[in-house]
Amino acid sequence: MPAEGAAPHGSATSVLTLADIGFAAPRALLARHGLVLVEVAAGEPIPGSYWGDSEAGVIAHEVYARVDTPVHSLLHEACHLMVAPAERRASIHTDASDSQAEEDATCYLQILLADTLAGVGRERLMADMDAWGYSFRLGSTRAWFEHDADDAREWLAARGLLPPAD
């Protein structure tokens, strides 16, 4: 989660983008969760993007992205929709965050789901999250995930949102 008032720090060349992994695997992942990945033409504005530029956007059950969209951004916005109750999901447009607990759960879930995408994985995703400017109390995404995210994991578990363990 970016620091309050912060803008994205990363650039398309420093983090993994959809140009690197393609749309097929992310599209299939989102479909398993009842979401639709909508590919936006290069250079066009991304509907529902909170941060603008190449960052993914959300509107109801659709996630919008371009080839230059960072994978961490796509997963983050998609996970916001995954954790949102069905009755709220339909009204989400651009700003999907409901609470700090939900934001933390979103970050945790995006890290877990990175392991399901070939060429991504949690290690790369956490590095990209740090490069972009996510801000955690312990200083890095990895430190938060490994030592300070029990509440996020419990939040997801209580709602049946944890993916099956390998």
Residue type, 141: T
Give the Cβ contact number of residue 6 at 10 Å: 13
Q: Is residue 12 part of a domain?
A: no
User: What percentage of the chain reaches a pLDDT higher than 90?
Assistant: 78
Q: Is residue 80 part of a domain?
A: yes
The yes-or-no verdict on residue 31 having pLDDT over 90 is yes
Q: Indicate the range of 77-81, 99-103, 162-166 predicted with least confidence.
A: 162-166
The residues, ordered by sequence, that sit 6+ positions from 155 with a Cβ below 8 Å of its Cβ are 101, 102, 104, 105
Distance CA 70, CA 126 (A): 12
Element housing 28 (H / E): helix 24-31
Q: Give the model's confidence band at 163: pLDDT under 50 very low, under 70 low, under 90 confident, else very high.
A: confident
Distance CA 124, CA 137 (A): 20
Tokens of 163: 């993916």
The yes-or-no verdict on residue 91 having pLDDT over 90 is yes
Distance from CA of residue 104 to its chain's centroid?
A: 11
Q: Is residue 164 part of a domain?
A: no
What does the pLDDT average to over 38-66?
96
Domain count, the chain: 1
Q: Is residue 11 part of a domain?
A: no
Q: Give the model's confidence band at 160: pLDDT under 50 very low, under 70 low, under 90 confident, else very high.
A: very high
Range of the domain at 125: 18-158
Q: Which residue has the tokens 């599209």?
A: 27
Q: Is residue 43 part of a domain?
A: yes
Q: Note whether 142 and 136 are within 8 A (CB).
A: no
Q: Is residue 94 part of a domain?
A: yes
Q: Is residue 38 part of a domain?
A: yes
More confident residue, 10 or 165: 165
Task: Please list the residues that pair with 2 across neighbouring strands.
Answer: 134
For the chain, how many residues are written?
Answer: 166
Q: Is residue 152 part of a domain?
A: yes
